[in-house]
Amino acid sequence: MTKTLFVGSISYTTTEESLNEAFSQAGTVTSAKIITDKMSGRSKGFGFVDMESDEDAQKAIEMWNEKELDGRKIFVNEARPRKDED
């Protein structure tokens, strides 16, 4: 079962490919997505990485949380379910 990680404070130069490559050092990445502004297409500075297993996700958190990627200290934790807004 995949585990989704939230990745915050991503550099504007980081690509989905480089994010995937970085997190694959911790285990199998099933997807990496950087959230972009709909109007400008520019990164919003955060994204999500799906890891193949809980073990890979935990290893990725330990490996990358508060570490530098592309010149910025990133923050990695388990993504929380999106809350429905009424």
Give pLDDT tens digits for 11-20: 999 999 999 9
The sign of the torsion formed by the CA atoms of 37, 5, 60, 32 equals negative
How much is the mean pLDDT over the chain? Answer: 95
The radius of gyration of the chain's CA atoms, rounded to the nearest angstrom, is: 13
Mean pLDDT, rounded, for 28-40:
97
pLDDT band at 86 (very low <50, low <70, confident <90, very high): low
For domain 3-78, give the CATH number: 3.30.70.330
| Domain spans in the chain, listed from the N-terminal domain onward | 3-78
Q: For position 81, what pLDDT does the model report?
A: 84
- Beta carbons within 8 Å of 66's beta carbon, 6+ residues apart: 73, 74, 75
Residue 44's contacts (CB-CB under 8 Å, 6 or more residues apart) are 34, 35, 36, 37
The whole-model pTM stands at: 0.92
